[in-house]
Structure 1
């Protein structure tokens, strides 16, 4: 990742202890390294083209101050330590999310051995544990969305929009999202539901940290191994400075001297203020500094528990609120409007009234399809108000494919679809493709918006059956030309047979080759023959199975002293047959 000078310069402002720590960080790992143990099955490692590893923002690379903390002053509210005496403090909700992610990973990826302190190091460097969004609500959502710069190329990676603006509010380019700064396309592959609410929301720190653990553990990594740890962090951000900063914070948290701080910056509003509902397709605009801001504000080299990270100062004010990372000037947030219920927090428009009281399923709960095909019916629900009338305009229904072990997707290739009901309140999901992986999964329909969590979702149980094994209906010879040989010799042309189903090759087809007399019916007792392992003649032979291209090559076919015409018959287990004419004759004398 390209690092701005203001970030790199902060390293020089650390004390002697920090300098000594940096020297040991290049290959630092989680404690002593036991023998390497593969992390077990799970997601494949992200490819080198995954945008998550390329420049997508400017993380805070300030290192922890290793000076001992001072006890909190008597009667000091909130923190258990003096926030000015050390930097290894974590907001209470963030700390709970990190430990929850470690617990989930221990069950899902037991060979990964990921410590919560590593996830906390990512959270610290990427968003100061969510403080760059003003803080956290107790449900894990950020007070304001945390968005990286628009990925338009140049200083950062070029990533055109992949989520329709659902998570980052940008339908032209992607932006890193949430407390652990996931690229939307990467979140689509590695997102997780960390709080068990059925929604994978990168703006919620419980989901974000669970997704971070899943991403770091992918590819069967064992993070107690130094090499795997290094690869995991580099895959999150391909920068040695980034690895050094993350591992420095990890070791600081592993020291055991970790305090709990309040979830919000001093003076920050709580209970919403523009927080998007989990799964909201359009995050509220943020007036907080975002990762990658071009003019980060620093008051020193220490980005500790006081919230001084990435341009946010300890008082809750932002160092560059007028210039978000995209470089465009945005108006300051408006004060609460007493004329509107709940006010107008941070310039957000109040959510439209949506008196939806229930969702009703239309059609059967269960649906089935064969792998590689699409489901024969589209899922439908009806959104109704308390009087049983269709939901009003502005209602949105979210359909989501739930299940890690399914390749099912909607027709546009995504796992989620947002649908506006018609006048009768009916919302119809797009066509659902079964994918190529047999198994079961759930499609959940839920109401989007602030009140959506109060309405029971509707679940559809989906089953993908394995596609029947293809069977060849045709055998053809590969190549042409007469098959001729001289006595006491062999056929010099290799004989290849292709099994097809229509025009598609069929692999793993078993064939039997039989040599017959010229009439194609009588078993041959002389003429062409195969050889067994001892070199003895064989005139009936089970051939190797066809390869992926549907082709099998016959072994050498020899001749004895007899001349004449013969027949080679190829037959599948299903009785599909191909016959070829063989001729054994003396070569014409050369003139």
Structure 2
């Protein structure tokens, strides 16, 4: 890296302050415009936000610490198309150009990752910086219509000779090497890493590391792993180092990242500028034969007036010991003799300091106020998403927007509402318009207001929003099993099933909270203190229960869910829903029929005690008497 920096300085940088400013600018971060994710399928890519779920990377690096291109970006600010060029640059305009398919893949990957992991704040310029260093933007955009490289881009065999020692893990399927692994494709994934992180972003049915759409999305997900927030310098550094564990690599990637953030433009595929120098010192031998060599622009402008050519000194003056002869003066009748200089005078080129603002002042420090952006009332019904997101604008003292400010959104108050991913906090970076919107906000089942607070990270500047969760509504409740009363005797349970349908404006109303209360009459306002009650409940609320309609808008009371109690009589189950829907179900509780007592039979008189008129019963004297 030191050698490369010296080479770059010798090509025109005359002040170390410029290098210091460029390095200091690496600490800044900036997200692209706050726009909705694209919905088109340009390039055959599949719908935005369908990337695989991120998982923490394994030990090692995405590339196996393979070699990379070490050239640094020009110190001049990139010239955008149509801007006048007042100073000559080495490769400024060309280096700022990114091939069309490659640029589209980077922007698509950013949109996809931001839709599933907005807290990562992935900028596409970071992918461009890695793509530049790894493959020279897919060899200058050498890809077909689907984004697949015209020929494989392979790193050297990772055999432990100057590189890591990684034995084959893919059977040569990706890298054609059955002995050792090699980094593959425009983002240079080794096969073992691609097996975990590979993506099919262009919907061709396969995860191909040689396809720029697949590789860019995989790289974006890999950089965002472990809940990283790339708007924070520490997380940004860790993400890049997870790609290649080298401080020189980190500095090179971040140099290109900062360069691309200051301006880029699209160039046709196959016409991008190819880097030359690599970290393994293979130099110009790496340029593919199919790509024409690139010649840098001259460092000084061509002279506007013709001048006599200097005479070439005698050859090999060191061998003869004789100094070179002074060329004779050019003479012409009628003209003053002129003597050409031995060297053309070249005015020094002063590099332009790239940043338009002082990079030593962090974006957060330039914010004078944080204001809410009117997005209408923040309301949602239970279980549904809020239609709008809390949005703030970061402004400086003059009222101008401040780009690259990290804004922390936080849910405050007693609520079960959450941001996407079931989170209560999220950090978002302001775009060029100074705006930052929170991730999607989802209402829970708890009804009522709560607060969303937006704060400038590391500052006390804050703005607050009031959000409200309301209950889902149903304007009609209809019993589906007829109007017959439910009957039971005291001490038992109601054995009939009860089904009630909830609708709102004629449509089924799922997720509605329906309140059921046992009352003594249809005009009663309070729940009864006696009579039927709900199974499993006790105390003062035993005769009141809240039901939630299912996906078909139904509530069901199964046999045995409602008990008769010990009071005979007629009661009603009153069902009411937010929105005005209500119905009554008659409950009849009967006392059990009394059991008849057994009757006592009349006693029968004994025959021995009854008088008799039988002559046999008349006493007579015995013959002996």
- For the superposition of Structure 1 and Structure 2, which TM-score range results when normalised by the shorter chain? 0.3 to 0.5
TM-score, normalised via structure 2 length: 0.38
Tell me which structure has the larger Cα radius of gyration: 2
TM-score, normalised via structure 1 length: 0.41
